[in-house]
Structure 1
């Protein structure tokens, strides 16, 4: 299971980029919570998760990724059982039942489920790579995905459900299904979304309505966070107001500035140039994952890395899109930068899996 040669092929560029993002995230969290007693220990908590996360990357990278293929079914059952437990005894916050307290730590299982589904779908598509054009294979993969997503929707957690569905579609395409079929399924998905819209929670419907039909006269209400995010981003200019000196952030006009809107926070403090630099590092991480996928020794390893790259790309795009008010508000964080222990741990596990694929495939060239 362990390979002594793992460090020879370990992707140090990928690891280094993740470390830089995590350290920058801690610094941004520290700035955004300054003077807020309720959030006083958030930066310390994130630091502890980062240290644990880096250790997890190294441990997961040492384990041959093929080992996880044999546990895919077990992971799938574990994920469903855990999500059902959350519905029964989980903590309710902001109208959703998503968290459970374990050893004094709030855990959000749906974050871990993202990685579980990447493993499960990579295993499924790798075993059925010669039957990817068969409608039965496609339906089985969808049923496999829906079997997990339904429990997340019941929390309710629409954003994470969409992430998993997007990952499924991306891995379906990467497994060899022609784009025209993906487009066909996308159209069906849009039609189904329109049909199911009345069944969404009221606050979810309201977010969509606020995006499509914003009220320009609302000084404080449903559009407040997005409007303040745009003001915050605009006030940063080219080079920003300086670390810890953003007026919108430090005077707390911008809400949830250490999680959902941390992109706006860093735009105010480091400006357009600073945000481009951070986005560039995130793109670099995604490209390294794709590089690993292309050089993988087998379809399972390739799909693991591709699946995680798709997750990173979508989650990054959505978070930035929300901050720029080009898509409705969601609860997706900026990978490795936003505050959130469960989110960070799921991401580092994903990075560990990608590193394992790199370490147990042919040598990388730099």
Structure 2
């Protein structure tokens, strides 16, 4: 029998928290562990640590989910927004210290390796939790001034471009920068920013890309051109499509296609279980969806997509019942985060999106990713705990 306060918290958790959301993310995570176990078999002894680390991360994530369900994030953000912003900048700047290391597959300087921790930490993943909270607070505060006014849009866009630019400059992780930009778009749309600003933003981004394209490194240009050539069937760069910049995607789509409807069988995937250098790369991280396609087929892939879709829709459901606009923006922000990472990762595996080093939420291996995802979902659970009852919500919609 634990302390009285803990017993009370546990009873309150099971009475008010979002148990369905917790069940969905646990199902996705454990499904991911099964895929990771298969994906690391070719490594032999060197790969044995991945599954225990992932399971420990999930356990810590459940604790984070429990704790964050009881945190009033609105009050916390309003009181601590300056410290949160400083923390985000500080943790990204840590990548410039000797603790900053390259990723396993992307080569970007995206990770922090501390000698006293068994796993590396991805600062941009941690900062993303606070970025959504800060952007939601901005959206709420700017509603009083007019969310679609020029100065309001500049403030929202400026915060986003600063963080996305900082990550791109220091770590070279353009995929994560893209997620931050996507979060801004979806949250600003949710907050009611006029459509004309999004049109102007698209035109500005297109112009910036046109001007910057000749100055981008060749390897980044190739990542985009091989996708375009693959989709259009351009045969002039066949080598690049299969052996050069498009090698990872070509192996991935081959694995998915060879799985058919029901797959080659768990622990039986030809590429997944092969130790050959020409086999599927990053199979326990970026290409975990391809592992699922090869061994469990279309049925397994649909199960992955349906689980993630259910989690995203649950976040949207909570957002629609939130007791304040800020809480709604937060829940929608985390739904957008999952949607963006899911779409980009699966797009990479299907050869319709460039390789940008983004993992599949809840399924891919990654300790810091799992814990932060559970913390984000815990915040959504907390919003659900404090949501308006249906009778009050309906009454509030009638106006004064």
TM-score (norm 2): 0.86
Shift of 1:153: 0.8
Residue 137 of structure 2: aligned partner: 123
Q: What CA distance in whole angstroms lies between the structure 2 residues aligned with 1:268 and 1:80?
A: 40
Of 93, 97, 100, which residue of structure 2 is paired with 1:84? 93
Residue 21 of structure 1: aligned partner: 28
Query: After superposition, what is the alpha-carbon deviation per residue over 1:106-142, rounded to whole angstroms, capped at 9, x for unaligned?
Result: 1110111111110110011011123101110100111
Residue 397 of structure 2: aligned partner: none
Residue 165 of structure 2: aligned partner: 150
Residue 272 of structure 1: aligned partner: 298
Q: What CA distance in whole angstroms lies between the structure 2 residues aligned with 1:247 and 1:44?
A: 25
Residue 96 of structure 1: aligned partner: 108
Contact 2:140 2:326 in 1 (8 A): yes
Contact 1:92 1:98 in 2 (8 A): yes
Shift of 1:97: 1.7
Residue 267 of structure 2: aligned partner: 244
The alignment status of 1:48 with 2:71, answered yes or no, reads no
- Aligned-CA RMSD value: 2.0
Q: Where does 1:260-339 land on structure 2 (aligned, <5 Å)?
A: 260-339=286-365
**3-state secondary structure, aligned to 2:110:** strand
Residue 394 of structure 2: aligned partner: none
**3-state secondary structure, aligned to 2:32:** helix
Q: What CA distance in whole angstroms lies between the structure 2 residues aligned with 1:364 and 1:30?
A: 44
Of structures 1 and 2, the larger Rg is shown by: 2
Larger CA deviation: 97-106 vs 307-316: 97-106
Shift of 1:182: 1.6
**3-state secondary structure, aligned to 1:96:** coil
Shift of 1:248: 1.7
Instruction: Name stretches of at least 5 consecutive residues in structure 2 with no aligned partner.
Output: 1-5, 231-236, 392-400
Larger CA deviation: 34-43 vs 263-272: 34-43
Instruction: Name stretches of at least 5 consecutive residues in structure 1 with no aligned partner.
Output: none
Query: After superposition, what is the alpha-carbon deviation per residue over 1:197-222, rounded to whole angstroms, capped at 9, x for unaligned?
Result: 34434432221232234532456332
Shift of 1:363: 4.9
Change (3 A) 1:245 1:92: closer
**3-state secondary structure, aligned to 1:240:** coil
TM-score (norm 1): 0.94
Q: What CA distance in whole angstroms lies between the structure 2 residues aligned with 1:280 and 1:316?
A: 11
Q: What CA distance in whole angstroms lies between the structure 2 residues aligned with 1:53 and 1:278?
A: 20
Contact 1:240 1:270 in 2 (8 A): yes
Q: What CA distance in whole angstroms lies between the structure 1 residues aligned with 2:202 and 2:222?
A: 23
Residue 283 of structure 2: aligned partner: 257
